[in-house]
Structure 1
Amino acid sequence: MKNRKILENLIYLAIFLIPLYLVRIKIGFLPTNAWEIIIAGIFLLWFFSNKDPKVEPLANQRFNLGFVKYFGMASLMFMGILMATFFSGNSTVSWGIIKGWFLVPIIFLFLVGEIIPKEKIKNIFLVYFFSAVGVAIVSLGYYGLGFLTYDGRLAGIFNSPNYLAMYLAPAVIIALEQIKVEKNKNYTIGFGWIIILGAFYLTYSYAGWFSVVVSCIILSLIKNKIELKKIALAMIIIGMLFLSQLNNKKMTDLLSADSRSSLSSRMMIWKASVKMLENNLIFGIGPGNFQKTYLEYQKFYPPYLEWAVPHPNNLYLTFWLSGGILGVVGFLGLVFFWLKDIFVKIKTESNEILFITLGIMLIILLHGIFDTTYFKNDLAIIFWLNFLALKN
């Protein structure tokens, strides 16, 4: 029992310290990071500790409508990525991506499922919320010191404002659902939420804002709790966000259809990505090869607006290019079955974890239209943690 408590606390600590993946470490020939070392330590402690017979292992638990389909879709996705890696010839980079963005997050999901009982899964997302609060506070410190991108956006500890927005967005949903449950009595959550919103706003990530607003609207529709006053409030918030950006060059370029706007840049990247698919439809180009291939395809287009582009700025194109047809079908299959099972559970259980994870998944899928919301250590971890909602 004592070991079980220690392991639980270590899992919570690992969630809070997710940003430590930014601390790169090399052990011999193996590149890794501080967060992966923490997970390796937890795994070893779990493996050699006495198992608590009162906690049923994750492998023996029955997921709604069967676990086999998830294993099948994940296997399909892995098979596609492995085949794309084999045919791409850039195995060193690709294997690092497979380890950091697929194997380690799935191992962590397994550990969380083994160690944390169902009634405490809520704590996982609360700890993530406080991790986001910490990131937001540090990022606001960057803002106070004037450390912004060339276009005046807040990136904080990350190298892109969009990455900061992607880390904070799930916490916005977590806080909203928690505040509703607590009937506004949890002032700590409310105060943390305000801090997150401040940093989230300063990213000026329009795709991030869009994904959160639409996700909240969809959740309200599912709950059948759309009221006129809520609609009016949503419209006021959207209007205020729009008005606040009228003097922002990013918005003016967007509204004027400027040829150098962020949308124009994305459209150019998407065109190049589609061209890559035309020539690599079955197997893709392999994970980690987009930047090199993107530069090779420049000859087909006018000079690029952006040259340093590690991903296609679209979740679905990224999966297809990184894992071929098998990779994207496996990913879409995972998401389809997850959404289907979550909606079934909502009809019978309707607890806050279901709505929190649904909101986060919607953010991933919606923001994924404009950015790559998986192929990064923290984003991959967030994606797989949503599958905890299926635990019985």
Structure 2
Amino acid sequence: MDITFIAIFVAWAVLVFHYPRFFTILLSFEFYGIPFTFVEWLTYATAFALLIVYRKRALKWFDEFFEGNIFRKIEFWVFAFFVVNVVSVFIVPLEFRNQALGILKGWIFAPIVYFFIVKGFIKNLADARRLLDAYLGSAVVLSVIGIYQYMHGILIDNRVTALFTSANYLAFFIAPAFVYAAILAWQNIRVIEMPWWKKVFIKLFRKEVDETNTAFFFAYLGCALITGFALTATNSYGAFIGVIFAAILYSIYHYCFSPWRQNLHSSVQRIVIFTVLLVAFLGLLVPKLDAWKFNTLFTFKDGTSSAIRLETWQVAGDLIAKNPVMGIGLGQFQNEYSAHAEETLGRAPVRTSMLHPHNVFMTTWLYSGIIGLFVFLAILFQVFMLLRNKNSDVRRRLIVVLAAMMLVIVMHGFVDTPFWKNDLAMQFWLIAGCAFGLSKK
């Protein structure tokens, strides 16, 4: 199967999810009373077509699934995650069960199907790069919209949101893309410095070529600057923390394990280039940002962002203590928060309604139960264990980039709730699918 089709699908997915006033109306429909978006339809249609065309391959895979230690297979943990969330639907009160079924369909099932499509049909480095480049292109489009908002003062709480209702959602989506673009630009600097004879040698004798050139450097650098500017304008500290940890992870790989590591002189040149660009952009941006959020970062009262999070975590912790095994069911935090926040806090909360617990691990525990949390952590563990996989150097290099992108999501998840949203779930499983697809022998 041509991976370009999947890349086009990703671009469509972003448009459908992030421009609901137009695309949802035109590209959603009902089937026997069940609502579907265009993205879900395309996911299921693609999966169905692939099962028909590759039915022998699918049957062979099913037979081989139970061979060996299934606990080491990512497919087992992905199936387990789906099953525990199916169970979570049935602990939801009947009046909210349709909502839970919608979450199961749009946030769990469709993204998991997409994961298997991506994982199954990535054959080489070029396939993964095309898919990730399509995702990056979508992030650039959203970032350009965010920059336009910033330049024209169209802000919510002094933060850009692009087509989202919240700046945090924009940060969720573009932060991993920024890391991808920045690292790819970094990797391509070496091409400018490389002598011509070495380029010829690599092209002739490497089994799997890491295609790099000067044009890639400027393309990825431009994407990094655009997404980086928009990310800074979201003023999302959780995203900033995630990016910092991703940079640390990649730096450890680059300077300790990468066959492309270079001497200090070359590294200094890179650091100087990126520092100058960073200072130039921040110099333009910072004076216009509202300093109130930063100044109140450690103020846990008077309606600050930190105070709201602390209240939310208190309520979430109390709900976990009362429902430690099964949780509260898919998508039920908003209802439970409204019903129990005042009782838990002993006073009226700053916000009477809260969609998520502002922590991806608390959210997973509450929505999927303690088993769901364990399975989710096992999936993350499997992703990061790919760093030990004995792949070719060029594949391992991109797997490290994917691990850095996943680390952005994980670190951001300590202070907010990525993953638990249809588009963010697609993003999560896209990164995981590319990583496991590249790890295949």
Query: Taking structure 2 as the reference length, what is the TM-score of the superposition?
Result: 0.77
* C-alpha spacing 1:276/1:51, structure 2 compared with 1 (3 Å): closer
Pair 1:390 & 2:436 matched: yes
Pair 1:21 & 2:17 matched: yes
Q: 1:138 aligns with which of 138, 145, 160?
A: 145
CA contact (8 A) 1:10 1:42 kept: no
How many Å separate the matches in 2 of 1:303 and 1:26? 41
Q: 1:319 aligns with which of 364, 377, 380?
A: 364
For residues 46-98 of structure 1, give each alpha carbon's deviation from its aligned partner in whole angstroms, at most 9, with x where no partner exists.
Answer: 34557899x99977999xx9664323323433333222221222321111111
Provide the residue aligned with 2:207 in structure 1: none
Q: What percent identity do the matched residue pairs reach? A: 23
Q: Which amino acid aligns with 1:18?
A: A
Provide the residue aligned with 2:246 in structure 1: 215
Any idea what SS the aligned residue of 1:21 has?
A: helix
The count of corresponding residues between Structure 1 and Structure 2 is: 382
* C-alpha spacing 1:203/1:118, structure 2 compared with 1 (3 Å): same
Q: Which amino acid aligns with 2:30?
A: I
For residues 169-228 of structure 1, give each alpha carbon's deviation from its aligned partner in whole angstroms, at most 9, with x where no partner exists.
Answer: 111111122113322622122112211111111101111111111211122023326969
Root-mean-square deviation (CA), in Å? 3.3
Deviation at 1:41, TM superposition (A): 3.6
Deviation at 1:294, TM superposition (A): 0.3
Provide the residue aligned with 1:84 in structure 2: 88
For residues 119-168 of structure 1, give each alpha carbon's deviation from its aligned partner in whole angstroms, at most 9, with x where no partner exists.
Answer: 3222211111111111111222333444321x111111111101001110
* C-alpha spacing 1:171/1:67, structure 2 compared with 1 (3 Å): farther
For residues 206-259 of structure 1, give each alpha carbon's deviation from its aligned partner in whole angstroms, at most 9, with x where no partner exists.
Answer: 11111111211122023326969588978x969x69976985111122255543
CA contact (8 A) 1:156 1:164 kept: yes
Q: Which runs of 5+ in 2 are unaligned?
A: 193-213
Pair 1:295 & 2:338 matched: yes
How many Å separate the matches in 2 of 1:71 and 1:205? 33
Instruction: Compare CA radii of gyration and give the structure with the larger one.
Output: 2
Q: 2:178 aligns with which of 172, 176, 192?
A: 172
For residues 16-40 of structure 1, give each alpha carbon's deviation from its aligned partner in whole angstroms, at most 9, with x where no partner exists.
Answer: 2222134432414112222222323
Deviation at 1:297, TM superposition (A): 0.9
Please give the residue correspondences for 1:1-392 in structure 2 after superposition, counting only pairs within 5 Å. Answer: 4-5=1-2, 8-19=3-14, 20-22=16-18, 23=20, 24=24, 25-28=28-31, 29-49=33-53, 68-69=71-72, 70-89=74-93, 90-119=96-125, 120-149=127-156, 151-183=157-189, 185=214, 186=216, 187-224=218-255, 248-300=291-343, 301=345, 302-345=347-390, 351-387=396-432, 388-391=434-437, 392=440
Query: Taking structure 1 as the reference length, what is the TM-score of the superposition?
Result: 0.86
How many Å separate the matches in 2 of 1:51 and 1:190? 42
Deviation at 1:332, TM superposition (A): 0.8
Any idea what SS the aligned residue of 2:296 has?
A: helix
How many Å separate the matches in 2 of 1:382 and 1:57? 29
CA contact (8 A) 2:329 2:366 kept: yes
CA contact (8 A) 1:298 1:304 kept: yes
CA contact (8 A) 1:346 1:354 kept: no
For residues 232-290 of structure 1, give each alpha carbon's deviation from its aligned partner in whole angstroms, at most 9, with x where no partner exists.
Answer: 978x969x699769851111222555432111110100000000011111100011100
Q: Which runs of 5+ in 1 are unaligned?
A: none
* C-alpha spacing 1:218/1:145, structure 2 compared with 1 (3 Å): same
